[in-house]
Structure 1
C-alpha cells in the first residue's frame, strides 16, 4: 500500500515537472514570436544549435544554412534557451557595429577575472574597462612599432623556408596549418616575449603545446567555445573554465619570469611585452622610439599582474592562430589555382628585385598579393561570427522591433562572406573581387567584409596579423611552387569540432624548389 502510494506520488511529481518544463520551454521559445521577429523552429535541448552540438556541421556552416532560409533583414535563433538576434541587412550591421555602437558596446561573451583570469582579456571584457584598456593598447600597433619588429618576423620566416626546403628535398608532404602555426608561434614568442624558440625542431615545446591545447579541434574545446559565446552566464554561474589550470599556470609563469628578468637586469627589448611592462609601470605606452620605462605611483593607471598575463595570452594565442589559418588556406588555394600562384609569384619576384630584397615598404607594392590575402579572409574568415550584447534598448529603424537590453546579437560573418548577392560564386577563389577597380565601385563599399570586425571593437592587431601572414607567404612563394599532396581533396570539408575554419584531415601540401 505504502509502496503504491509512493509510486503514485513520484509519478505525479514527474508529470508535474515535465509539464512545468514544457510550459517554460514553450514560453521561452515564443520569445521572438512575441517580439514580431521571424525565427527557425527550435528543438529541445539545443534550440537552433543541434547540428553544431552534435558535430554534424561547423558553426559557420550552420549559420550559413539558417541565413539562407530567409530574406528578412534580421531574424532570431535560440542557443538552448537564450534568444539571439541575427542581423542580415548590411545597413543594420553597420548601425550595430559603428553608427549606434553605444547601444552595443559589449561582446556579451564569457569571461571571469577571478576564476578564469586568462579569459579576461581585451577581446572579452566589458564597457569602461574595455575602453580604457583599448586606448592604452592602441599605440602598441603603430607603423613605427611594426617596422621595429620587421626583422624579427623575417627571421622567423627564414626558419619556415628552411623547414620546407627539407620537405622538398625529401619529396615529403606537410600539413600546412601545423607548419604555419610553427612559424607564427616562433615569431610571436620572439616579438611578444623576446624568446627564441624553434617549433620546427621542437614541435612539442611548451610554447607550441600550450598554444595548441586550448584551440585544437576536439569535442571538449568545441563545447567550451560554444558555451562561452552562447551561454556565458551559465559558465560563470557554475564556475566552468574556458582554459585549463595548466594552461593558465604556463602563461602566469612565463609572464612572471619575463617580468622579473627585465626588472632585475634592466633589460629593454623592442617587443610587445616591453610595451606591457610600460603599461604595468606607467599606465601608458610611450612614443614609437621610446621603449624604456619609468614607474608611476598612481596604482589606478597600472596593469595588475593577471591583467598583464591575460593580455599576453590574447596577443600570443590570437597572433599565431589567426595568421596560421590565413597562411594555410592561402597556400591551399595557390595549390588548387596554379594560374593565380604564378601571378602572385611574378609580382613577388618583380617587387623584390626592385627593392633588392624584402622590406617593410615593398610589401605595400604587392597589390595582387593583398587581393589574394583579402579573398582568403573572405572565404575562410578566422572568426565566423561577431558577438555583441545590447547594452541599451534599441529600436530598429523602419520597424516596430525593439532589441531589449541584455539581448545577445551575432553577426554571421561566414554566411555574409558566402552570400551570392554580395559575392557571386562565393565558393570560387577570385582575388579580382578586391582589385583596385572593384574597390572604387559603390557596390563594393556596401559589401559586408568583416574578417577583423568593424567599428570601435574591431581587431586591434589586424595590421600585425596581415604583416606576419604576408611575410610568411612571400617567403614561401619566393622559393617554392606549392602543390596538393596525394589524396588531398579539392572539395574539403570543414571540421565541426574546430572553433575556427579547419579542414577534416588537415591541409596536406607539397613544395618543389622553383
Structure 2
C-alpha cells in the first residue's frame, strides 16, 4: 500500500513538472510580448497539419495574419518548439546571409548511428556540416556539371522516345508522373550509375523507393513532432525517422555500387565517382587550406540518398507545375518554343551544355514556377547566441531558438509580387529582379546554406522542359485539374490526383 502511494505521488509530481514545463513552453512568446497565435497543447500551430492543410497552407495563413503587424518576426509553435517566424525581409537577409555565423545550424533531428541516411548535408549542423559542405562543394561546380551533361541528355533523349510512343497511343497523359520518371532515371544514372529504366517500367525499384521515401516514416505525426521539438532527447532515446525498408534499399544500392566500381575500376565522371574518390582519400585539402579526413561509407550512403531524394522530387515537381502553367498560357508556351528553336539553330541543332545558358526566357519560366509552386515551404535555422533584431530592441531571438523563414508565403506576398497567383515569367527579367531584395526568391535558400545541388537541379529541368516543348504542344483538357488540389499529408508541395494534359506532336 505504501509503495502504491509513493508511486502515485511520484506520478503526480512528474505530471506537475511536465505541466509546468509545457506551460512555460506555450507561454514563451506571451511572456516576451511578441505577437503569436494561441497554440494547441500538443500540436502547437500545426493542429491542421495532415488533416485539412499542408504545411504550405499553414505557413501562408500564419504569414497573412501577421503580415501587416510591422513586427520583424512573430511567434510560431512548431509542435512544442517556439520558433521565430520571420516576416521582415531585412531580418531574413540577416539570418540567411549577414549574420549567418549565428544562424548556421538548422536544429533538425538526425541519428548517424541508428538512422545513418538521416545524417546528410541537409540535416547536419556544426563542424560536421561545415566539413561535409566543404568536401562536397567541389562536386557541383560548372565543370562537374559539364561532365554530367551528356548523361542527362542521353536520358532526356530516351524520355522523348517514350513520350512519342505514349502520345501515339493516347494524347491525354498524366505529366507529373512522366517527368518524375525522367528525373528518377537522371538521378539514378548520375548518382548511382544505374540504368533505372523507370521510364518504361512502372515497377522500377528506384521509382518506387523514391516515392516512398517522402511518405513512409517510422512513426506518426506526433512522434515526428517530438523529434522535431526535442532533437537531442530523441537522439538519446535512439528514435529513428526513416522507415527500415527505405534504409535497407539505399544501403544495399550504394554499397553494391561502390563495391562493383572499386573492384572493376569503373569510372563514369558522375556523382558517385566523386563520393568514392573522397571515400578513398585519407585526407582532403579544402579550398581554405584546411585538411580533413575522407568520407566514411555511411557518409557516402547518406549523401547519395539526399542527392537522389532532393533532385528527384524538386525537379520533377517543378517541371510538372511548369507544364501545367504553359498549357494554361499558350502564348507563354509559344514564346518558350520559339526560344528553344532559335537556341538550337544557333548551336547547329546540337543540344550542348552551352545551350542551357542561352535559354533566358525558359529560365524565367522555371523561376516563376518555383515562386508560384515552392516545393519546400520554408527555411529553418537555429540561433547560436541571443540575437537582438537590429532596429527592434524589443524583439529578441534567444540562444537555441528555432527560426522559420516562410519562403512559400513570401513568394505569394502581393506587396512583393503584385497579383501573386498570376503566372508571369517577366517578373524574373533582369530589370524586375533588380528591383526586389535577393531574399524575396528562396526556392533554393540563400547564403552559405543554400541548396548545394541547385546547378544540377536547374540543368536537368532546363533540358527536360526544352526538349518537351520542342517536341510537343501542351494544352488543357477535361481531365486537367482547375484548381490544383494539394495533398495535406505531403510536407513538400504534392498534389492529389496528378496533372493531366493534352499533348500534340509539334
TM-score, length-scaled by structure 1: 0.90
> For residue 33 of structure 2, what is the aligned residue in structure 1?
36
Structure-2 separation of matches of 1:226 and 1:18: 20
Q: 1:339-378 counterparts in 2 under 5 A? A: 339-357=331-349, 358-378=351-371
Where 2:358 maps in the other structure, the secondary structure is coil
Tell me whether 1:330 sits opposite 2:322 in the alignment.
yes
- Give the superposition deviation at 1:386: 0.5
User: Which of 421, 424, 445 pairs up with 2:415?
Assistant: 421
Where do 5+ consecutive residues of structure 1 fail to align?
A: 288-298
Distance 1:33 1:382 in 2: 32
Equivalent position to 1:385, from 364, 378, 384: 378
Partner in structure 1 of residue 259 of structure 2: 260
Counterpart pick for 1:400 among 394, 405, 419: 394
- Say yes or no: does 1:45 pair with 2:42: yes
**DSSP-derived class of the 2:355 partner:** helix
**1:140-177 deviation digits (Å, cap 9, x = unpaired):** 11111111111111111112212221221122433222
Cα RMSD over matched residues? Answer: 2.8
Q: Which residue of 1 aligns with 2:76?
A: 77
* Distance of aligned partners of 1:218 and 1:312 in 2 relative to their CA distance in 1, 3 Å threshold: closer
Which sits farther off after the overlay, 18-27 or 208-217? Answer: 18-27
Structure 2 gaps of 5+ residues are none
1:4-63 residue CA offsets vs partner (Å, 9 max, x unmatched): xxx99999999988776655443322111222311111122211110114x211101111
Change (3 A) 1:309 1:8: closer
Provide the secondary structure at the position in 2 that maps to 1:31.
coil
CA contact (8 A) 1:37 1:401 kept: yes
| CA offset digits 1:468-507 (Å, max 9, x no partner) | 0110001100000112342322211221111211222122
Distance change >3 Å, CA 423–CA 39, structure 1 → 2: same
Deviates more, 1:111-120 or 1:239-248: 239-248
Q: Give the match for residue 68 of structure 1.
A: 64
8 Å contact kept, 1:139–1:285: no
Count of equivalent residues: 497
Match of 2:204 in 1: 205
Paired with 1:284 and 1:485, the residues of 2 have a C-alpha distance of 57
Q: Distance in 1 between matches of 2:204 and 2:396?
A: 51
**Which residue pairs with 1:293 in the alignment?**
none
Moved more, 75-84 or 236-245: 236-245
Cα deviation for residue 401 of structure 1 reads 2.8
- State the secondary structure of the residue aligned to 1:114: coil
Question: Secondary structure of 1:76's match?
Answer: strand
Residues 474, 229 of structure 1: alpha-carbon distance in 2 compared, 3 angstrom cutoff: farther
| Distance of aligned partners of 1:85 and 1:157 in 2 relative to their CA distance in 1, 3 Å threshold | same
**Residue in structure 2 matching 1:436, options 416, 430, 433:** 430
2:463 corresponding residue in structure 1: 471
Comparing 41-50 and 227-236, the one that deviates more: 227-236
